[in-house]
A = this chain, B = another copy of it.
Amino acid sequence: MTGTRTAPHPRTDGAEDLTADPLRFGVGARVTVAVMADDYADVILSVLAGVDRSGLVVATGDVSTYVGGHEADLLRYLTDLVDAVAATGEHAAVTLHLSRGCPGEVRCELPGGAGPRPADLPPGRRTGRVAVAEWALYPLVDDVRAGVVPDHMRDIEAAIELARVAGTFRGSEHFVTRLEGDVGAVVETVVGAWARVGRGVQHVTSHVTLSLNSPSRTRG
């Protein structure tokens, strides 16, 4: 697994590289799984218990589950998790909130000048199950003195082009881009675009709401 990762380039100027450690750089996600069935608690606990957490820090709360670690591990975990929810056959909404470049809480604990973190991802797997999703992506400015000001619309358009290439792009609606396709392709689009924009911008977040096993879809 580690062979598929691109390690950050070592700095040659003697300064500490604040981008190398994914946890220190704040690479992670918050996930809310809402299963629309009376036995939701058993379904959610069973799904969470069955997904491989290798390489990740996982902490479950009463609103969401925090998952932190390398982008490649996050891609694997989120694909497996969303697919496991889809495999239950229950109608469910899954909310993913990805973040990078701003560890800590109220105030980023990294200086604005830490710089972006390069991360190449392996291709996501295909699961054979379908998701529809609404997706937003945000390159953020934390410290304009760092001199790197993201161009929000340029990055959004590049991300949408990635979704078109992945075959998941279905259109644009108020405030969001609509994605549809194999669970693995949808999660790969979201995680991939977030990591790609993160090559040029330190602090990038993304929010996506996925709908699984929607009765309005299967009933036509």
A175-203 interface (Cβ within 8 A of B): 175-178, 203
CB distance from A93 to the nearest CB of B (A): 4
Q: In the bound complex, how far is the Cα of B149 from the Cα of A151, in angstroms?
A: 11
Please tell me how many copies of the chain the complex holds: 2
Quote the shortest CB–CB distance from A176 to chain B (angstroms): 7
Tell me, yes or no, whether A205 is within 8 Å of chain B by CB: yes
How far is it, in angstroms, between the C-alpha of A44 and the C-alpha of B64 when the chains are bound?
21
Residues of B with C-beta under 8 A to A34: 34, 36, 92-93
Number of A interface residues in the complex (CB < 8 A) = 65
Residues 30-44 of A contacting B (Cβ, < 8 Å): 30, 32, 34-38, 40-41
A5 at the interface (CB under 8 A from B): no
State whether A62 and B106 are in contact (beta carbons under 8 Å apart), knowing that A34-B36, A138-B138, A174-B68 are contacts in the complex.
Answer: no
**Chain B residues within an 8 Å CB radius of A93:** 32, 34, 63, 93, 95
